[in-house]
Amino acid sequence: MFPTFLPSQVEQLKDGEAIALVQTMERIAIATTLSQQPIFTTYIHRGMGGTPILLLHGFDSSILEFRLLLPLLATQNETWAVDLLGFGFTQRLKGINYSPTAIKIHLYHFWKTLINQPVILVGASMGGAAAIDFTLTYPEVVKSLVLINSLGYTSGPAFSKFLFPPFDFLAVEYLRQRKLLALNLGSLANLNTMTLEAIRCAELHQEMPGWHDAMISFVKSGDYSNFAEKIAQVDKPTLILWGEADDMLGVSDAERFQQNIANSQLIKLKNCGHAPQLEQPHTTAQYILEYIRLGK
């Protein structure tokens, strides 16, 4: 049985790991300073013991991107994943300015409501930038960081904050149609089932109410485009995991993270691209759990 707050397209999922994760998704009303209304926030919580791990997904994504990694981490540590404000299956209220500032405020209230003890914060891609931003604002919340092919030095398009109607809607709709087209063409081209399921998981949250408006708001906010100067302020122990075959960011950003974060360790993953949590989940989990075991 799937949670009732999910779009009807969830019934199309066939991948066992995705189905198992979706069936354990929960929603809680989180009171924040962003709105008079609480925000129904989607999350997953598994495992017991140790310092809690909190997973943050990437841009235009959801907690489904951790469908392979989260169960592995939860075998040894209490593990959480949350849909960031404006993304995934978390409620998108009207009247909120969806921005990095709003994301970290909402994330703090989520942490305070459900976890309320220091965490190991794991951020993938844009989630890495969100993790750094959150750590600098709420240092008492974070024991250590894990950055997986993180944004921070590479910026989004410089024109994004200047989009205006109707081009803002069209630009965001392009993101949605690109995934849907890949799904449709993939079916026609008889792509392998794993690829088709990955696309289904990647586009499911786009069917949630308010997706267009929240995406437009976030893109116009400038996202994390002026963020690089803050990275050297991180003073938490940091593990940097980086797929060497990343065709989005390359590997130079990984080395910049290592150089500028004083207490950091870089591990490059061979034959791996931008998403180690999906491409090499067992290896990624092993490195994270070992880093935790060593007390970082």
Written as six digits, the tokens of 117 are 């003890």
Which of 102, 106, 75, 128 minimizes the C-alpha distance to 236?
128
Give the burial class of 230: count Cβ atoms within 10 A of its Cβ; 0-12 exposed, 13-18 middle, 19 or more buried: middle
- Check residue 7 and give its pLDDT: 95
- Check residue 188 and give its pLDDT: 40
Question: Phi and psi (nearest 5°) for 120?
Answer: -95, 115
Dist. CA 253–CA 249, nearest whole Å: 7
Number of H helices, E strands in the chain: 10, 8
pLDDT tens for the chain, 296 residues: list them: 899 999 999 999 988 999 999 999 999 999 999 999 999 999 999 999 999 999 999 999 999 999 999 999 999 999 999 999 999 999 999 999 999 999 999 999 999 999 999 999 999 999 999 999 999 999 999 999 999 999 999 865 443 444 444 444 444 444 554 444 443 443 344 446 677 778 888 889 999 999 989 988 998 888 787 788 899 999 999 999 999 999 888 899 999 999 999 999 999 999 999 999 999 999 999 999 999 988 75
Beta bridge partners of 265: 239
Question: Phi and psi (nearest 5°) for 268?
Answer: -95, 135
- Check residue 39 and give its pLDDT: 98
Give CA 182 to chain center in angstroms: 21
- Check residue 275 and give its pLDDT: 92
- Check residue 80 and give its pLDDT: 98
In 59-118, DSSP assigns E strands to 79-82
- Check residue 184 and give its pLDDT: 43
Count CB atoms within 10 A of the CB of residue 262.
13
CATH of the domain at 13: 3.40.50.1820
Tell me which residue has tokens 């008492």: 140
The verdict on residue 77 lying in a domain is: yes
Distances (CA, A) of 235 to 42, 59, 132, 193: 30, 25, 10, 43
The verdict on residue 210 lying in a domain is: no
Which of 293, 276, 292 minimizes the C-alpha distance to 284?
276
In the chain, DSSP assigns E strands to 26-30, 39-46, 53-56, 79-82, 119-124, 142-148, 238-243, 264-269
Written as six digits, the tokens of 116 are 């309320």
The verdict on residue 107 lying in a domain is: yes
- Check residue 262 and give its pLDDT: 94
The verdict on residue 214 lying in a domain is: no
The verdict on residue 277 lying in a domain is: yes
- Check residue 225 and give its pLDDT: 78
- Check residue 214 and give its pLDDT: 93
The verdict on residue 218 lying in a domain is: no
* Total domain count, the chain: 1
| Residue-number span of the structural domain to which 97 is assigned | 8-157+223-293
- Check residue 228 and give its pLDDT: 87
Dist. CA 256–CA 258, nearest whole Å: 5
The verdict on residue 178 lying in a domain is: no
End-to-end Cα spacing for the chain: 39
Dist. CA 96–CA 261, nearest whole Å: 32
